[in-house]
Amino acid sequence: MSEIPLPSLFGRFTAIFKDHDHLGKTLRRLRLMCGVLDGGRQPLPAELSPDVLILDLRVHLGVHFAAEEADEYFGTVVEEAPALEPEIAGLKWEHLTMLKAADVLCGVARDRSRWRDLPGPTRELIAQLERHERSESKLLRSLFSGT
């Protein structure tokens, strides 16, 4: 039985970028959820249920961050541009802090009586994720441009 070859460096990055697109869709639904919760409208539409949405975010982030931290992604970046290693270490640290924040939000989301507490911290996590994604994009531009 022959092994399926790993995708090229470009292919691996393309797969991560597709994952970023899915994450963007999830973040848009979370923003809608926050708006509905801020407006006090109940019941929430099923697709905006905090317990489901935030758990989905947490699971997605865990898988997404693990893929980024794999040797085939960040490891390749370090191999190609060792000077970027400190930046990658910072990105990995951010992964840990965002996962912890998502864990806390999951706990709050499980208690319907605490849903009104979700919009602020959820928006903070979304903003952190967006800053993080911009930092990753900057890192990859540095890799590809050789700067």
Question: Between helices 50-69 and 119-145, what is the axis angle to 10°?
Answer: 20
Closest to 39 measured CA to CA, from 102, 95, 115: 115
Q: Name the DSSP class of 84.
A: G
Mapping DSSP to helix (H, G, I), strand (E, B) and coil, where does residue 3 land? coil
Per-residue confidence (pLDDT) for residue 122, from 0 to 100: 98
Type of residue at 51: D
Backbone angles phi, psi at 100, to 5 degrees: -65, -45
> pLDDT digit of tens for each residue in the chain (147 aa)?
444 443 444 444 445 555 666 788 889 999 999 999 998 877 888 889 999 999 999 999 999 899 888 887 888 888 888 988 999 999 999 999 999 999 999 999 999 999 999 999 999 999 999 899 889 888 888 777 766
CA gap 48, 34 in Å, rounded: 9
Per-residue confidence (pLDDT) for residue 107, from 0 to 100: 97
Per-residue confidence (pLDDT) for residue 114, from 0 to 100: 95
Per-residue confidence (pLDDT) for residue 2, from 0 to 100: 42
Mapping DSSP to helix (H, G, I), strand (E, B) and coil, where does residue 41 land? coil
Type of residue at 123: R
pTM, rounded to two decimals? 0.83
Closest to 105 measured CA to CA, from 66, 53, 43: 53
